[in-house]
Amino acid sequence: MIDHERYMRRCLQLAALGANSVAPNPMVGAVLVYRDTIIGEGYHRIYGEAHAEVNCIRDFEDRFSTGEWMGFGFEDAQALLEQSTIYVSLEPCAHFGKTPPCADMIIARRIGKVVVGIRDPFKEVDGKGIEKLRHAGIEVISPVLEKECREINRRFFTFHTLHRPYVILKWAQSADGMIGMEGERTPISNAWSKLLVHRWRSEEAAILVGTQTALIDDPALTNRYWPGKNPLRVVLDAGLRLPPNLQLFDGTVPTIVFNTVLQEQRQGLHYQRLENWDHPLPEVLSALYHQHIQSVLVEGGVRLLRSFLDLGLWDEVRVINSRSVYLPGGIGAPVIPKARIEQSFELQDDHVSIYSSFAR
C-alpha cells in the first residue's frame, strides 16, 4: 500500500523553504513519485515565479536528462511522467495569475495521478483545480494531512476564509506579571528575545501599535537586527496627536496611520480615516484585508492588546516572560483567554510562550 502521508510530509518540508519569499502566495511543495521512488522535487520559491508543480517537473526533467532515471527502462521523460504520481501540498491552481494554471500543466504533461494535501480556499481556485483534473480523467486523491497542510499556510487560510489578516499579539512581561510602567519606556526582555522579535517582524506583512506606545516608546518597528523585508507599519492615532519627529514617520518604511480626521497620501505615509472609532479594530482589519495584508503583528500597548483579546480577533499570542525583571506598581499584562500552548522555550533568563486560539 502506498504511504501517501510520507510523500505529503516531504511536500511540507519543501514548502517551508519558501517562507518569507512567496507571500502573499501560499507556501507549496511538490514531489513526483514513480514506484515508491521520488524522481522530482520542487517548491514555490519566489512570489511571481514558477509554482511548486512546475519546479518539480523541471527538477525531474533535468535529472532525467543526465541519465539518472534511465534505469527505470523509459526512453523518454514523458513516458515516465505518465506512469508517475505528483504530490502537492495545496490544490493546483486553475486560473491565470502571475503564472499559467498548474492544473493545465499537469493535464498537458499527462501525469497519471495527483495527490492533494488540501483544497485551496482562494476563490479563483477553491476546488476548480481538482475538478479540472478529474474532468480530464486524472485520478485525484485528497485530502492527505489536511490539518498539517492548513497549518503551514495558516495566514493564507485565515485571510481567505475569515477575510481579515492573521493576527498575532505579542508582549513582554516582567516576573511579577507587568507589561510596563505608566508613561515610561520600560525594557523588559533580554538581547536574545529582542533578536527573536525582529525575526518575528520579518515574517509578517504588517506591524501594529497604538498611540501611547508610539508616543512613549518611539519605536522604529523595523526588523533591523534580522534579514528580510520590513513589515508595513500601522499605527492607530484617532486625533493625529503623534508628533511628526517620531521614527514611525521617517519615511523609510511605508506606514498607515488610522485616524478620524484625515484621508491623505504622502510620501511613505498613508492617512486613512475610520468612520467608527468606538470600535475601530474590525474596520482596521477590513482595511488591511482590502490592501492584501495577510498578517499583522500587534505589539501594544496594553489597551490595544486587550481590545483584540476581548473581541476574539486574534490567532496567536506570543509572550516573553522575564525571570529577572520586576516592576512593582506597573501596568498588569493582558489575561489570555482559553487557548492552547503551541511552543514554550527558554532564552537565557526569558521564557517564551506561544499560544493559539481554539477558534483556529
**Secondary element (H or E) of residue 302:** helix 302-311
Residues 183 and 216 sit within 8 Å (Cβ to Cβ): yes
Mean pLDDT of 236-243: 96
Active-site pick, 41, 53, 91, 316: 53
**Helix H or strand E segment including 215:** helix 211-217
What fold characterizes domain 4-153? Cytidine Deaminase; domain 2 (3.40.140)
pLDDT digits over 108-120, tens only?
A: 999 999 999 999 9
Of 184, 187, 188, 192, which is closest to residue 322 (Cα–Cα)? 188
Instruction: Examine the pLDDT at 359 and tell me if it is beyond 70.
Output: no
Average pLDDT of 226-234? 94
Q: Over the stretch 202-227, which tens digit does the pLDDT of each residue have?
A: 999 999 999 999 999 999 999 999 99
Enter the C-alpha cell of residue 20: 518569507
* DSSP, residue by residue, 2-59: --HHHHHHHHHHHHGGGTTTSTTSPP-EEEEEETTEEEEEEE--STTS--HHHHHHHH
53 is an active site residue:
yes
Distance (Å, rounded) from C-alpha 179 to C-alpha 177? 7
Does residue 20 surpass a pLDDT of 90? no
Longest dimension (CA), the chain: 78
Which of the four pLDDT bands, split at 50, 70 and 90, describes residue 18? Answer: very high
Q: How high is the pLDDT of residue 352?
A: 98
Angle at 296 between CA 335 and CA 102, to 5 degrees: 130
Query: pLDDT: is 123 or 10 the higher one?
Result: 10
Q: 32 forms bridges with which residues in the sheet?
A: 40, 86
Helix intervals (H) in 66-153: 77-82, 102-108, 128-135, 146-152
Find residue 186's DSSP bridge partners: none
Kindly report which listed range (84-98, 258-272, 329-343) carries the lowest average pLDDT score.
84-98
Sheet of 139-141, strands arranged across: 37-43, 29-34, 85-88, 113-116, 139-141
When pLDDT is cut at 50, 70 and 90, the band that residue 100 belongs to is: confident
**Residue bearing cell 500587534:** 298
How far apart are the C-alpha atoms of 81 and 114, rounded to whole Å? Answer: 12
List the chain domain ranges: 4-153, 163-357
Q: Does domain 163-357 have CATH number 3.40.430.10?
A: yes
Q: Under a CB-based contact definition with an 8 Å cutoff, are residues 236 and 208 in contact? A: yes
The predicted-structure confidence for 285-338, as pLDDT tens digits, reads as follows: 999 999 999 999 999 889 999 999 999 999 999 999 999 999 999 999 999 988
* Domains 4-153 and 163-357 are alike in CATH topology: no
State residue 308's pLDDT score. 97
**For residue 95, what pLDDT band results from cuts at 50, 70 and 90?**
confident
For residues 111 and 129, give the distance between their C-alpha atoms in angstroms, rounded to a whole number. Answer: 14
Q: Alpha helix (H) ranges present in 91-153?
A: 102-108, 128-135, 146-152
| Contact (CB, 8 A) for 63 and 39 | yes
C-alpha cell at 205: 506583512
Whether the bond into 100 is cis, omega within 30 of 0: no
**Residue matched to cell numbers 483567554:** 337
pLDDT at 98 over 80: no
Cα–Cα distance for residue pair 360/341, rounded to 1 Å: 13
Confidence check: pLDDT of 360 > 70: no
The tens digit of pLDDT for each residue in 48-58 reads: 999 999 999 99
- Average model confidence (pLDDT) across the chain: 94
Which residues are paired to 30 by β-bridges?
Answer: 42, 88
Residue-level pLDDT at 70: 81
Enter the C-alpha cell of residue 206: 504588517
pLDDT in tens, 162-177: 999 999 999 999 999 9
Cβ(7)–Cβ(38) under 8 Å?
yes
